Amino acid sequence: ADNFSRRWVMFAGHCLIASASTTLMISVGLGFVSPWLILGLGFLAGCGFALNDPAWHASVGDILHKRDIPAAVTLMSVGYNIVRSVGPALGGVILAVFGPLAAFALAAVSDLAPISAIWRTKWEVRSSPLPRERMTTAIHDGVRFTAMSLEIRAATARAALFGLASISILALLPLVVRDQLKSGPIVYGILLAGFGMGAFIAGMGNGFLRKVTSQNRLVAFASVACAVCCLSLALTSSVPVAAISLALGG
Cα three-residue angle 104-30-96, rounded to 5 degrees: 40
Question: What pLDDT score does 125 carry?
Answer: 63
Residue 116 pLDDT level (bands cut at 50, 70, 90):
confident
The string of DSSP codes covering 201-242 is HHHHTHHHHHHHS-HHHHHHHHHHHHHHHHHHHHH---HHHH
Across 65-94, average pLDDT? 74
Question: What pLDDT score does 190 carry?
Answer: 82
- Residue with the bigger pLDDT between 248 and 206: it is 248
What is the value of pTM for the model shown?
A: 0.69
Across 10-26, average pLDDT? 89
Across 152-171, average pLDDT? 83
Q: Is the pLDDT of residue 1 over 60?
A: no
| Separation CA 141–CA 160 (nearest Å) | 20
Question: What pLDDT score does 58 carry?
Answer: 77
Q: Closest Cα partner for 181 from 193, 196, 167, 191?
A: 191
Non-local (6+) Cβ contacts of 168 within 8 A are 230
By CB neighbour count within 10 A (0-12 exposed, 13-18 middle, 19+ buried), where does 198 fall?
Answer: buried
Neighbouring C-alpha atoms within 13 Å toward the C-beta of 72: 14
Q: What percent of the chain has pLDDT over 90?
A: 0
Indicate the average pLDDT of the chain: 81
Question: What pLDDT score does 124 carry?
Answer: 65
Number of CB atoms found within 10 A of residue 205's CB = 10
Residue 133 pLDDT level (bands cut at 50, 70, 90):
low
Residue 107 pLDDT level (bands cut at 50, 70, 90):
confident
Question: What pLDDT score does 131 carry?
Answer: 64
Question: What pLDDT score does 3 carry?
Answer: 64
Residue 212 pLDDT level (bands cut at 50, 70, 90):
confident
Q: What percent of the chain has pLDDT over 70?
A: 92
Non-local (6+) Cβ contacts of 183 within 8 A are 177, 239
Q: Closest Cα partner for 17 from 60, 50, 55?
A: 50
Residue 164 Cα to chain centre, angstroms: 15
Nearest-Å Rg of the Cα atoms of the chain is 20
Across 146-161, average pLDDT? 82
pLDDT tens digits, one per residue of 54-64: 888 777 777 77
Residue 130 pLDDT level (bands cut at 50, 70, 90):
low
Question: What pLDDT score does 93 carry?
Answer: 78
